[in-house]
A and B are shown apart, each in its own frame.
Chain A
């Protein structure tokens, strides 16, 4: 149990996917203008990352690894993710129209969100060490928790930043700084604040 807690804290704060690992920056900058859209996007990303990680993890350990086909990871993972996003969209439309209304427009954007592929590849290739445990590849349970926590970290950074950006929009910013530059500088300060979490785990 303690290990799961460490995974969660480390994935949300210490190794925040946006601010420390630089994954999923494009949608982060693109849809963080308003808090409501940012929250919608975070929800969709959270859903897809967790689902995609579980599916690709199973694909890797039961199909690719036994046949020595690990070099096909990139191509098979991206296809699985693309298909999965389509399926989620179709299922969501039928099952829960209200959820579809909230997340629907973000789903097509997620296929090319490198956070999804990034997390899927990381959990099957990188050895992790949490606390005192020996470094090892994650098992399915840990991988799922890691994916969920990582996407929660994504949501946290996204929503915090959207809140800042809403205030930023009201300020008088020099012309050359308007738009992305001032946003990037703000993210930089946020990333610096998140550095304070390092050493926690």
Chain B
């Protein structure tokens, strides 16, 4: 009885070990491919590589990808309705937002989850100039049109984008400082 159970467990662990070894590479590749696809989507077409980096702003560590001569893709998250809404924000060299993309969210299907599909909502961030328009929903005195019935998600999205702009400014300021040295 014990023998049988251990034998089954042994065989199953062997199967799992093999499956893990075989899929480890494709899983890593799939993640890289996903990140690259997101970078390509949020930044203007570019050649060359996106160089990863990270910067600390307050207590939070932000990851970003730098594309020389094109801009930065910053990953930033804010609390939505039922968890974090993680957004990648592409900002070109002149500080204008090129595009944004949701990397992960767990908002209510049909309501907050529309931050991934609602084109009217997503497209308003394209070409957004943070210098002239405020990144907050209209209810809070900003210029972002919220998704109907999903103010909390929209607020989180706007906050995430606005944090990404802050991160961008910090990076640019840091690099500017280095150049002068």
Contact = CB atoms under 8 A, between A and B. Distances in A.
Whether both chains belong to one complex is answered with: yes
Interface of A: 15, 71-72, 75, 126-129, 132-135, 198-199
Contacts of A133: 79
Contact of B77 (A71, A132, A135): A135
The 8 closest A-B pairs by CB, nearest first: A135-B84, A129-B79, A127-B84, A71-B20, A135-B79, A129-B83, A127-B83, A129-B84
A135 B83 contact: yes
Contacts of B60: 134
Given A75-B12, A126-B106, 15 more contacts: A15-B82, A71-B16, A72-B16, A75-B16, A127-B84, A128-B83, A129-B79, A129-B80, A133-B79, A134-B60, A135-B77, A135-B79, A135-B83, A135-B84, A198-B108
Contacts of A126: 83, 106
Contacts of B81: 198
A133 B83 CA distance: 11
Interface in B78-113: 79-84, 106, 108
Interface in B54-94: 60, 77, 79-84
A134 B79 contact: yes
Interface of B: 12, 16, 20, 60, 77, 79-84, 106, 108, 152
Contacts of A135: 77, 79, 83-84
15 contacts: A15-B82, A71-B20, A72-B16, A75-B12, A75-B16, A126-B83, A127-B83, A128-B83, A129-B80, A129-B83, A133-B79, A135-B77, A135-B84, A198-B81, A198-B108
A127 B104 CA distance: 11
A137 B12 CA distance: 30
A72 B12 CA distance: 11
Contacts of B16: 71-72, 75
A66 to B, nearest CB: 17
A58 B46 CA distance: 46
Contacts of A132: 79
Nearest to B108: A198
Contacts of A72: 16
A134 B82 CA distance: 12
Nearest to B84: A135
A75 B80 CA distance: 31
B56 to A, nearest CB: 14
Contacts of B152: 199
Contacts of A129: 79-80, 83-84
Nearest to B156: A129
A132 B12 CA distance: 44
A198 B80 CA distance: 13
